[in-house]
Structure 1
Amino acid sequence: MVSHVWSILTNRESLWVAWIHSYRLKGRNFWECKSVPNCCWSWRKLLQLRPLIRSFCWSKLGNGRDTSVWYDNWSGISPLSSFLSSRTITREGFSLQATVADLSSNGSWLWPAAWRDTYRVLIQLDQVQRDANNQDCLLWKDGDEVSDYSSSGVWNSIRISDPEVNWHSIVWFSQCIPRHAFFMWLIMRKKLVTQDKIMYWNYTRTTNMNMMCCLLCYESLDSHDHLFFECKFSAKVWEFIRAKAGMDNVEAKWSAITEWLRQRARSKSADNLVCRLLVAASAYVIWRERNTRFFKNHARPPENICDSICDTVRYRLMGLKFKNTPKVRRLLQRWDIHGALAVDDGG
């Protein structure tokens, strides 16, 4: 949507932009155009983006003929409309559609001298000079960095960003199973609604929840650490399936498992891929088993859970292509994948 706004601001040659200027703006500046009640949804959404992106749209002055002197960002104190009202501007006989070139002549500004006394910040514009040999240019400015418009640049500027976590590569990777990856993200953020969290939210209900326990092992309350994989039931599942990925020595603790994966996060080997798929599938299937027991009162033995996990990973591997190497062939044989997968030399 910002790309559409940028097309309007730069007056890109297209039928749609021409229509917007003729029927929506009608000579007005995009930044000061008001949203009318009967306008269409798409136009209203474009106008609602203005507070978000206005500070990033920077007009690099050339001759000043394409830059609004009142509404565009072209200096350290602009837009001037932030302190000069429309009434103040028109009362002095200036047009609201005036450009920087219209208000600048021979290196001086044409506004009343009284404005310099009333609005002292205008004195800072004495240092601004136009370049008559070049046209104005609209750029994207994020802090001190100024660049040409790009969708990626806009995204990086306006999105809410946090420091990169060190576990992202074990959750999100191109061969992941999307629902498993999203579930892994919830676990890493400790966002699952486990019994310990419910009691923390509403401590007054503790007396009514004394009978609550993990529905997998029927011992302590379930929690993130307990379910993955300190619970006797889930630990038994983990002890069986970890051998399928060469993780025999990794203990049944979520912190130990994720640390083991994180240390190998940069590896692009097929073995490492299987490890990530297997851990995600294990957590997902165990959580589903927990919910099935809670909501449907239906339980499966650990052996069935292990089979479900292995089948899920196997089916995912059958849909991928790998390099034709002895190590990969041994891996596929270990997962009983033979004629179902075409092994590709350049995969």
Structure 2
Amino acid sequence: MAGNFEMSDIGLLTYYLGIEVLQHKDGIILSQERYAKKILCETGMDECNAVQSPMEFGLKISKANEEEGTDEKDYQQSIGCLHAIPITHSTRYRLLCRLVKQLLKYRALARSFVQVEIRSGTPTSFWFDEWSPLGRIIDLTEMQGCIALGINLNATVEFVIQNYRSRRYRAEHLITIDKEILKLRAQGLTEEDDVVKWKGKGNVFRPCFDIHQTWNSIRVPQSKVQWYKGLWFAGSTPKYSVMSWLAVHNRLATGDRLLLWNSQANAQCILCNSAVESRNHLFFSCTFTETIWRNLTRKLLGQNYSHIWSQVLDLISTHTVSGETRFLLRYAFQVSVHSIWLERNGRRHGKVQRHPSILIKFIDKQIRNRISSLRGRAGTSFNNAMVVWFSSRD
């Protein structure tokens, strides 16, 4: 990751989003004690006595007409802080259970990707690890095999090779297992560690794990879409790429999609208030967003300029423009999609509305910052990007 992104090592994680992270050799402990004490101090309750319920049982509350007004935002902020407290307790437990259940679904699939090459046989389970061409021995014999072969369920390969006594079996699968044990005994064990091998490209097992080859082995291959180059390119920022990817797949909760879930939902575009909000309207047919897009890309595209979604997608995916201009166009597209969507969400949730000129300045700053971080990298062609970008600005 350090080769693709600017990173710095600041040591072990100790505090993140209100959660203390205590790392020991026996595990990791998550705590929100410091966060809870901070809330108590800010609300003036740090010296109060601890009780099971913060309110007297059966207390009736009425409106105080003669009291001075209070700022409701302070109350809302305090209550909002309390919502984050259970994250390391019941919520953490539920998330952990969900994660474990999801992982357990892939047990059968994962077994076919792992093999063990026996050297010493010490850490390898005779019954549950796939150390022979026969596969997992427990799958061949089931639990009755322990009695039939006289081998304990917890036995390792090393223990079996050293202590197994061959017998005459009638069942064909037991005869095959017996031969496999005697074959490995004849080869002999060494003092080296067993080698765990992972299945990769071409179903070949190798002593190293390759996530790319594993992913290609378990997924159903699909033909490449034309627009992928416009989203996943050198110098892109992951959060902007993911947001753009969601937009391309029309997965953003725009007004037209909200209507499919709730016919009473307000589907009007909150930026221009003149049309139903859809993906194609929001990017960039809306008068609000078209102003932003035009200001950022009009000079970059020249005669090829367009604000129609399908045409914009073609422009960033093909070689209509080249070099630094193509990178700037793609990056401007992604930052614009991300910033416009955040502005749209902010307005729907009552935040202060921003003028297009403010968003233009913000996007312009993000692009300049990205160019500055990329310039000077070995093997890249971003050295002239800042000159091209400045020449396209008014």
Do the two structures share a fold, i.e. TM-score over 0.5? yes
The structural deviation recorded for 1:328 is 4.9
Q: Which residue number in structure 1 is paired with residue 85 of structure 2? A: none
Q: Which residue number in structure 2 is paired with residue 21 of structure 1? A: none
1:227–1:333: structure 2 CA closer, same or farther, 3 Å change rule?
closer
Q: TM-score, normalised by structure 1?
A: 0.63
Q: Which residue number in structure 1 is paired with residue 127 of structure 2? A: 70
Structure 2 residue identity aligned to 1:216: L
Q: Does 1:317 align with 2:377?
A: no
1:66–1:280: structure 2 CA closer, same or farther, 3 Å change rule?
closer
Q: Which residue number in structure 2 is paired with residue 144 of structure 1? A: 203
Structure 2 residue identity aligned to 1:81: I
Q: C-alpha offsets along residues 37-73 of structure 1, whole Å, 9 cap, x if unaligned? A: xxxx9xxx8x968656333222346898986553332
Q: Does 1:243 align with 2:275?
A: no
The two structures, once aligned, show a CA RMSD in angstroms of: 4.4
Structure 1 Cα separation of the partners of residues 230 and 124 of structure 2: 48
The structural deviation recorded for 1:231 is 2.1
137-146 vs 272-281, which moves further: 137-146
The structural deviation recorded for 1:159 is 6.9
| SS of corresponding position for 2:245 | helix
The structural deviation recorded for 1:251 is 1.6
Structure 2 Cα separation of the partners of residues 102 and 265 of structure 1: 67
Structure 1 Cα separation of the partners of residues 282 and 244 of structure 2: 13
Structure 2 residue identity aligned to 1:113: Y
Asked whether the equivalents of residues 63 and 132 of structure 1 are also in contact (C-alpha less than 8 Å), the reply is no
1:296–1:247: structure 2 CA closer, same or farther, 3 Å change rule?
farther
Q: Which residue number in structure 2 is paired with residue 342 of structure 1? A: none
The structural deviation recorded for 1:285 is 2.4
Structure 2 Cα separation of the partners of residues 60 and 326 of structure 1: 50
Asked whether the equivalents of residues 213 and 222 of structure 1 are also in contact (C-alpha less than 8 Å), the reply is yes
Which residues in structure 2 correspond to 1:216-235 (within 5 Å)? 216-235=271-290
Structure 1 residue identity aligned to 2:277: D
Which residues in structure 2 correspond to 1:206-217 (within 5 Å)? 208-209=264-265, 212-217=267-272
The structural deviation recorded for 1:156 is 3.4
Structure 2 Cα separation of the partners of residues 59 and 265 of structure 1: 52
The structural deviation recorded for 1:76 is 4.6
The structural deviation recorded for 1:306 is 3.0
Structure 1 residue identity aligned to 2:345: N
1:265–1:67: structure 2 CA closer, same or farther, 3 Å change rule?
farther
Asked whether the equivalents of residues 244 and 334 of structure 2 are also in contact (C-alpha less than 8 Å), the reply is yes
The structural deviation recorded for 1:224 is 0.7
Asked whether the equivalents of residues 103 and 110 of structure 1 are also in contact (C-alpha less than 8 Å), the reply is no
Q: Which residue number in structure 1 is paired with residue 215 of structure 2? A: 156
Q: Which residue number in structure 1 is paired with residue 388 of structure 2? A: 331
Q: Which residue number in structure 1 is paired with residue 138 of structure 2? A: 81
1:223–1:333: structure 2 CA closer, same or farther, 3 Å change rule?
closer
1:76–1:299: structure 2 CA closer, same or farther, 3 Å change rule?
same
Structure 1 unmatched runs, 5+ = 1-15, 17-40, 337-347
Q: Which residue number in structure 2 is paired with residue 56 of structure 1? A: 113
The structural deviation recorded for 1:175 is 2.6
Asked whether the equivalents of residues 239 and 248 of structure 1 are also in contact (C-alpha less than 8 Å), the reply is no
| SS of corresponding position for 1:72 | coil
The structural deviation recorded for 1:327 is 5.7
The structural deviation recorded for 1:165 is 4.5
Asked whether the equivalents of residues 245 and 278 of structure 1 are also in contact (C-alpha less than 8 Å), the reply is no
Which residues in structure 2 correspond to 1:94-133 (within 5 Å)? 94-96=151-153, 97=155, 99=157, 110-116=166-172, 119=173, 132=187
Structure 2 residue identity aligned to 1:289: E
Structure 1 Cα separation of the partners of residues 288 and 240 of structure 2: 20
The structural deviation recorded for 1:125 is 8.4
Structure 2 residue identity aligned to 1:276: R
Asked whether the equivalents of residues 70 and 78 of structure 1 are also in contact (C-alpha less than 8 Å), the reply is no
Equivalenced residue count is 281
Structure 2 residue identity aligned to 1:70: W
Structure 1 residue identity aligned to 2:324: A
Q: Which residue number in structure 1 is paired with residue 240 of structure 2? A: 180
Q: Does 1:279 align with 2:330?
A: no
Correspondence for 2:256 among 169, 181, 196:
196
The structural deviation recorded for 1:293 is 3.0
Structure 1 Cα separation of the partners of residues 125 and 257 of structure 2: 55
| SS of corresponding position for 1:84 | helix
Structure 2 Cα separation of the partners of residues 240 and 257 of structure 1: 15
Structure 1 Cα separation of the partners of residues 212 and 306 of structure 2: 43
Structure 2 Cα separation of the partners of residues 75 and 125 of structure 1: 12
Higher relative contact order (CA 8 A, sep 6+): 1
